[in-house]
Amino acid sequence: MWDRKELKSHARVSMRYNYWRCVIIAAILLFCIADFTFTKFNIVSSTIEVAKTINKDNWSYKQGFVGLQFKGKSNTEIINNFIHGITGEEPKMQKRYEGVLGSFINNINASDSVLFGILNTFNQFAFDDSLSAGVIILLGVILSILAIIFVKNLIVVGGCRFYMENHAYYSTDLVRIFMPFRVKKIRKQVVTMLMRSIYQFLWWFTIVGGFIKMYSYRLVPYIVAENPDVDYKTAINLSSRMMKGQKWNAFLLDLSFLGWRVGGYLSGGLLDIFIGNPYKSSTNVELYFELRKEALTAGIEDSSVLNDKYLEPESDSEVATGIGADYVDEYFTIPVYFKRMTYMGAVRKYTVLSYVLMFYVFAFGGWIWEVSFFLFMDGKFVKRGTMFGPWLPIYGFGGIIALICLHRFVKKPWFVFFCSFVLSGIIEYSTAWYLWETKKMKWWDYTNEFMNLNGRICLEGLLLFSVGCMLIIYYIAPHLDDLLKRINYKVRVIIAIILLIISTIDWVYSQSHPNTGEGITTSTLTVLSLQMGKQI
């Protein structure tokens, strides 16, 4: 019989060796479960509440519920009024931001839902807010159900897989949470988790039965995480057998975390995030392994599906890895697809000539990007940049600096992304400061963007630049370098010299006669006047 204190002691050990990853996985699980639960929206209440809140003066009727349209109001406003009508709360005045990310924030604030915020933003940009509120609500309900079935449930299984591996392999990687998606058994996993939810839901009609079955089916996601090929009947029945006679003790185990829950509430959730949730998840895994060991020892029916012996390498003399090593995909009882990314293409040294030519490719690519963006958004051609040629040096310098500084860290993609974010911020901010202070002109201004710094940089832009740097380092630069090397060396040298001469002449001329005009620049005096006018 397992001991509660012993389980928690083992959980603290495994959590301590891989603390931050345990915290991150627990936070992801909490976010998924919280974001995909129906607290304000479900199929029945959505339809009923819409029917209750219809104002015949503001509605036109077209083909029933899906065709309902409000007159004179955007869908964001309709969703906002709809939600606060359900909750009885007054809509809060929120600052309005510009840009795509700003629109997401505006819509999320308006609807109190990430999903509905995304739908409304897509509606505004793609359909000019022309989709009816009924369509938005219906899409939101459908996508919520699909997200629960195909994303949330598999993420829960993946979280269990991470903590199960972390039980023995103290350097378990974060990507193990995606293990369910990397085996060709997704359909079985989805069906098993869905049937577990349906059974649980039906048992709640008996009130007491729902509470009991919550503990009976507790081990299903762990069984699926160990063996994704198991069918739903076997997983549910095996979990019930393993939990037979253990439900009260499991309840007491949950009750022992009550103090942490109270502490989490008093700390505004911080204690839950950094200790409570990862601690409980680690303890639940220890419980699973104790019950798993008992089931295998007793030889209970269907226990043979618990066949991943590498989850407890210390108990098998044939395993050469041992505590502290990584769980290798080849150990898994089912073939694992989508292996870890290899970075051999990005691990290379570039020549000076390649850097020069790639500088102009990146500069030209940045110019094409910005011109295309303005053409798409405003429907007019705007020749962007301070120079007159088809290049934006800031993109060229940014790409080359990222390559030079970060190529040695290519095997740490998250670190590369973070460094790209910082580098992009430094380059863009310093360039903006130089141009604004010396030319008294603004070639860009993020003043109204979400999370901006003095209007010179903003979160949305830095995220885009960071993604761009990642693409350059891992994909564009290696392929471009291979392509350039196919060109005769002398031809490459001649091209580089010509580009250097033309761009140098352009740069010298633009120092005294920069490229300006409508859609390109705004004088600081004009910006100041506009801001003062808004305040007045």
* Per-residue model confidence (pLDDT) at position 512: 86
Lowest model confidence (mean pLDDT) among 193-207, 301-315, 503-517:
301-315
Between the CA atoms of 220, 226, 227 and 233, what dihedral angle is there, to the nearest 10 degrees? -10
Banded pLDDT at 62 (limits 50, 70, 90): very low
CB 425 within 8 A of CB 457: yes
CA angle (149, 304, 210) in 5-degree steps: 45
Contacts (Cβ under 8 Å, ≥6 apart) of 136: 75, 78, 79, 116, 119, 120, 123
Cα distances from 78 to residues 127, 148, 375, 526, in angstroms, run 16, 25, 31, 36
* Per-residue model confidence (pLDDT) at position 282: 95
User: Does the pLDDT value for residue 44 go beyond 70?
Assistant: no
Q: Which long-range contacts (CB under 8 A, 24 or more apart) does 263-272 make?
A: 272/30
CB atoms within 10 A of CB 291: 22
User: Does the pLDDT value for residue 113 go beyond 60?
Assistant: yes
Which region, left, alpha or beta, applies to residue 325 given φ > 0 means left and ψ of -120 to 50 means alpha? beta
* Per-residue model confidence (pLDDT) at position 125: 67
Please indicate whether residue 252 or residue 98 has the higher confidence score (pLDDT).
252
* Per-residue model confidence (pLDDT) at position 208: 86
Q: Tens of pLDDT along 486-499?
A: 999 999 999 999 99
Express as a percent the part of the chain with pLDDT over 70: 74
* Per-residue model confidence (pLDDT) at position 109: 67
* Per-residue model confidence (pLDDT) at position 505: 95
* Per-residue model confidence (pLDDT) at position 451: 85
CA angle (247, 253, 258) in 5-degree steps: 125
CA-based nearest residue to 355, from 402, 416, 413? 402
User: Does the pLDDT value for residue 110 go beyond 80?
Assistant: no
User: Does the pLDDT value for residue 281 go beyond 90?
Assistant: yes
* Per-residue model confidence (pLDDT) at position 527: 40
Q: CA 160, CA 356: separation in Å to the nearest integer?
A: 49
The whole-chain average pLDDT of the chain stands at: 80
Exposed (0-12), middle (13-18) or buried (19+): which is 64, by Cβ within 10 Å? Answer: exposed
* Per-residue model confidence (pLDDT) at position 166: 92
Q: CA 447, CA 432: separation in Å to the nearest integer?
A: 13
Please indicate whether residue 293 or residue 339 has the higher confidence score (pLDDT).
293
User: Does the pLDDT value for residue 535 go beyond 60?
Assistant: no
CA-based nearest residue to 371, from 380, 360, 382? 382
Write out the two tokens for 188. 């079985």
CB 494 within 8 A of CB 375: no
CB 2 within 8 A of CB 292: no
Q: What is the mean pLDDT of residues 94-118?
A: 66
Write out the two tokens for 293. 């060991």
* Per-residue model confidence (pLDDT) at position 491: 95
Write out the two tokens for 485. 């090397």
- Residue 176: enclosing H or E segment and its boundaries? none
* Per-residue model confidence (pLDDT) at position 2: 86
Lowest model confidence (mean pLDDT) among 192-196, 372-376, 405-409, 508-512:
372-376
Q: Tens of pLDDT along 455-472?
A: 899 988 899 899 999 999
User: Does the pLDDT value for residue 296 go beyond 60?
Assistant: yes
CB 441 within 8 A of CB 456: no
Q: CA 439, CA 443: separation in Å to the nearest integer?
A: 10
User: Does the pLDDT value for residue 333 go beyond 60?
Assistant: yes
Banded pLDDT at 344 (limits 50, 70, 90): low
pTM over 0.85: no
Lowest model confidence (mean pLDDT) among 20-29, 69-78, 229-238, 372-381:
69-78
User: Does the pLDDT value for residue 346 go beyond 50?
Assistant: yes
User: Does the pLDDT value for residue 313 go beyond 80?
Assistant: no
The residue ranges of every structural domain in the chain are 4-37+147-331, 354-535
CB 144 within 8 A of CB 151: no
CB atoms within 10 A of CB 45: 13
User: Does the pLDDT value for residue 211 go beyond 70?
Assistant: yes
Q: What is the mean pLDDT of residues 234-252?
A: 96
Q: How far is CA 86 from the centre of its chain?
A: 29
First to last CA, the chain: 74
Write out the two tokens for 380. 């007019």
Q: CA 98, CA 445: separation in Å to the nearest integer?
A: 11
Q: CA 20, CA 164: separation in Å to the nearest integer?
A: 16
CB atoms within 10 A of CB 73: 15
Lowest model confidence (mean pLDDT) among 107-111, 194-198, 349-353, 386-390:
107-111
Max avg pLDDT among 97-101, 311-315, 345-349, 425-429: 425-429
User: Does the pLDDT value for residue 52 go beyond 50?
Assistant: no
- SS3 of residue 159 by DSSP: helix
* Per-residue model confidence (pLDDT) at position 508: 93
User: Does the pLDDT value for residue 330 go beyond 90?
Assistant: no
CA angle (131, 132, 136) in 5-degree steps: 80
CB atoms within 10 A of CB 442: 20
Please indicate whether residue 207 or residue 191 has the higher confidence score (pLDDT).
191
Q: What is the mean pLDDT of residues 513-527?
A: 65
Lowest model confidence (mean pLDDT) among 59-68, 197-206, 267-276, 415-424:
59-68
Contacts (Cβ under 8 Å, ≥6 apart) of 30: 272, 273, 277
CA-based nearest residue to 294, from 251, 246, 229? 246
Angle between helices 43-52 and 133-147 (to 10 degrees): 160
Please indicate whether residue 346 or residue 460 has the higher confidence score (pLDDT).
460
Banded pLDDT at 119 (limits 50, 70, 90): confident
Per the listing, tokens 């993946």 go with: 158
